[in-house]
Chains A and B, each alone.
Chain A
Amino acid sequence: MSNLKKYPLIEMKGVTKEYSPRKRFFSKCQNKVLALNSIDFSIEKGEIFGLVGQSGSGKTTCGRLLVRLEEPTSGSICLNGEPINKLKGIGLKTYRSKVQMIFQDPYQSLNPHLSIAETILEPLVVNGLGNAATRREKVLHTLEIVGLSPADDFYDRYPHQLSGGQRQRVAIARAIVLDPDFIVADEPTSMLDATIAIQLFQLLTQIRKRFDMAFLFITHNLAAANYLCDRIAVIHEGHIVEVNTANNIIQHPEHPYTKRLIQVQPGFDFNG
């Protein structure tokens, strides 16, 4: 057991991802796009790790690799020291139950034909956990955790009957219902209003505290990352340019790109 402790919860080592353009009959030979270039970082148990970058910087690709929606071109990703690249069958299924994802757009990430209960039940059913009664109990409990109470009230509703913030809470419930170790949250609040977003940040912090889950928080908003995260990595054109504690990144940025990001954050300076 003492051996296990040395490994971070999740680790990316020299991960590179290339996209090659689709070959078409008339297309000229184009260069490959290097979405991620030799990415290294690790996330500890119970840590909220922020990945901040502009659109096209590769931050979403990073998240997709971590939940194995895509395969890296080279490099390795390890969970508790075990590489995940070669996982298949049962191994992959177990991995996917430990690593969950919350998507950006709650209007698209929930199936409109499934009730809230069915949405949250699905991971339990797929993984064959419990019987009908215990599953129902679990779903109601999870709904209470994410702040959709009274849970009975939401149980049989459909996504179209919920607001954006409530939908994102359902997406969070779906992600945490299997008690995963690690959640990738890809811009979970960029579609929501500020007053709703901050309540969701509060919820994520509570969940982290209660279940000791680790999060990768992907965002373009440095201020949001600063508020939520323990450490922040700044990603630019597929490279991680700087990793540091949130406080150090904001107070003592080193890389010129980080400085630039901080400088362009709109603030309340009433000049001009």
Chain B
Amino acid sequence: MALLSIKNLSIGYQTKAGMLKAVDNISFELERGRPLGFVGESGCGKTTIGMTLMGLLPGNAHILGGSIGFQNQDLIQLNEDQWRRVRGKEIAMIFQAAMNALNPVMRVDEQVIEAIVTHTPDISPADLDKRINELFDLVEIPRVRMKDFPHEYSGGMKQRVIIAMALACNPKLIIADEPTTALDVIVQDQILKEIKAIQKAMNTGLIFISHDIAVVASVCKDICVMYGGQIVETGTREEVFRNPRHPYTKALLGSYLSLDNELTVVIPDMRETPDLTLESGCCRFAVNCKTCSSACKAEVPQWIDISGSHKALCCDETIIRNSHE
């Protein structure tokens, strides 16, 4: 059985401009040991998905429909008390801004201890000590630095502490939301290797969110490409990145700059931001789509299967099928 199974999830933000559908009718399943990556531009709803899974949506957000199946319960139905038992213990998050995610006036080890004690109040001091040492070893922070304050750490080390906190209670699912965006390439490389190694060793479920397709490709086996609150293409990383079908995935890959000249740069013509106030189900990419026809704006896009695991959302089946230009 899948660890996490999301069905037809829609989330909206109430704003002055009306209800913005930040997540529009999304369905996916996550297996243990098969990291799932979400990639897309800013505002496409990827962080909203992460926050929903942590029960941390802001006040103006409304779950408009759908279900989140996790361990025989629907997370949407949980009240705040029940959430507290899940959040951090069963589902943990590695946040983007390592600089701001730590409490500046608490020693680093105390912050990790806090995470453990909150969920296992009756842990013995000896066990706690052992667990803390284990965690710091796991993320490769020398024990002499455990009693430091966050400002004494570099960006990479802070991100490691965040990872240690996320792992503190052996969660079944970890959500990593842009965990390396604030770091430079060399540190990013180390942190990504660490996340991959830990995921493998502990066999947790991992949802990895990033705007950088290469980072997602290096960590995740399965990929969901998002645009304007919708998943527009999904498949294994080989399928999605070697054989992209949706016009947006192609634009994303075409704009990726790499050092190996394997990918040719194709400059997309994408000027418009997607209109999130549109009715649910409409193609959000139509405003930027070169292959868009008038029918696209009227019709509701359908999932078109390319292979068992690979599918794309589009109104025009021929565009998706005849994708080899």
Measured CB to CB, the residues of A under 8 A from B are 54-55, 163-165, 193-199, 202, 220-224, 226-227, 250, 260-262, 264-270, 272
Contact = CB atoms under 8 A, between A and B. Distances in A.
B265 A195 contact: no
B125 to A, nearest CB: 36
Specify which of A164, A195, A222, A227 lies most central, judged by the most chain B CB atoms within 10 Å of its CB: A195
Given A194-B211, A195-B41, A264-B189, A227 B265 contact: yes
B184 A199 contact: no
Contacts of A250: 259
Contacts of B145: none
A153 B111 CA distance: 52
A54 B185 contact: yes
Interface of B: 41-42, 155, 184-186, 188-189, 192, 196, 211-215, 217-218, 237-238, 241, 251-252, 254-260, 262-263, 265, 267-271, 273
Contacts of A261: 185-186
A198 B256 CA distance: 8
29 contacts: A55-B155, A55-B184, A164-B42, A165-B271, A194-B41, A194-B211, A194-B212, A194-B256, A195-B41, A195-B251, A195-B268, A198-B257, A202-B267, A221-B185, A221-B257, A223-B257, A223-B258, A223-B259, A226-B259, A227-B257, A250-B259, A261-B185, A262-B259, A264-B189, A267-B258, A267-B259, A268-B214, A268-B241, A268-B263
A55 B181 CA distance: 13
Contacts of B273: 163
Given A198-B265, A265-B185, A268-B214, A193 B257 contact: no
Contacts of A227: 257, 265
Given A193-B41, A198-B265, A270-B237, A260 B186 contact: yes
B241 to A, nearest CB: 6
Contact of A220 (B185, B213, B267, B268): B185
A260 B188 CA distance: 13
A117 B263 CA distance: 39
Given A220-B185, A265-B214, A267-B218, 16 more contacts: A54-B184, A165-B271, A194-B41, A195-B251, A195-B270, A197-B255, A199-B255, A199-B270, A220-B184, A221-B185, A221-B257, A227-B257, A264-B186, A265-B185, A266-B185, A266-B215
Nearest to A166: B271
B257 A226 contact: yes
B185 A195 contact: no
Nearest to B192: A266
A54 B155 CA distance: 12
A199 B268 contact: yes
Nearest to B41: A193
Contacts of B211: 193-194
Contacts of B184: 54-55, 220
A82 to B, nearest CB: 35
A165 B271 CA distance: 8
Contacts of B213: 194
Contacts of A226: 257, 259
Given A264-B188, A265-B259, A268-B214, A194 B252 contact: yes
Contact of B252 (A54, A195, A267): A195
Q: Which 6 A-B pairs have the closest CB atoms?
A: A266-B214, A193-B41, A264-B189, A198-B255, A223-B257, A54-B184
B186 A266 contact: no
B186 A54 contact: yes
Contacts of A267: 214, 218, 258-260
